[in-house]
Amino acid sequence: MNAPFRRWAKNRWDSESDRRARTEYMADRDQEHSKAFLLATALDHSWRWYDLRINSGLQILNFYLLAMTVLTAAYVSAFTSRNHVISVAVALAGAAVSASSYMAGVRQDHVARMALPSIEEAENRLAVALDIDSLRLAEQYRVQRRLSAYAIRVIAYFVYPAIIVVCVVAGIYAAFSK
């Protein structure tokens, strides 16, 4: 009777040690899977943050273009019908819309850029883990965008203030024309 008990105990011990080894292997594998999942979640969150802010900036630009089109038509209509008070109000509204759109657009661009370092870090980790260098998209974007982003900013720094000045001058012109 002692031999069957020993075999049972040995088999149970072996199955327990196998189960422990499998559990440890699965725990390591689950940890790696969990890290990969967290990395993918972080990358997705960062890209969504960036995308939301950039899309908001584009919506601000679309609103600005539409508003300035309407305000320009209103100014021309009021000025040609000799409603100079309305022309002044519309011109000042155009200046206010230009200033607020510029500030909101710069803010959205600034907030969107906050996501780029975390995107680059997550993409670097992912590129190293998968051994795929082309996954470093944010880094490539930043390198290619330096000159064009600078040119766009310079244009924006001059165009928005110039439009504000034009709106103020149009309001002054409308106020003093008879």
Q: What is the pLDDT of residues 92-146, one digit of tens each?
A: 999 999 999 989 988 888 888 888 888 888 888 888 877 878 777 777 777 666 6
Domain boundaries, the chain: 41-176
pLDDT in tens, 64-77: 999 999 999 999 99
**For residues 142 and 93, what is the distance between their CA atoms, to the nearest angstrom?**
36
Q: What is the pTM of this model?
A: 0.67
What are the structure tokens assigned to 141, written together?
A: 């974007």
How does residue 154 score in pLDDT terms, banded at 50, 70 and 90? confident
Output the CA–CA distances (angstroms, integers) from residue 153 to 63, 95, 149, in the order listed. Answer: 19, 19, 6
63 touches 101 (CB < 8 A)? yes
64 touches 97 (CB < 8 A)? yes
88 pLDDT above the threshold of 90: yes
What pLDDT score was predicted for residue 172?
A: 93
Q: What is residue 177's DSSP assignment?
A: -
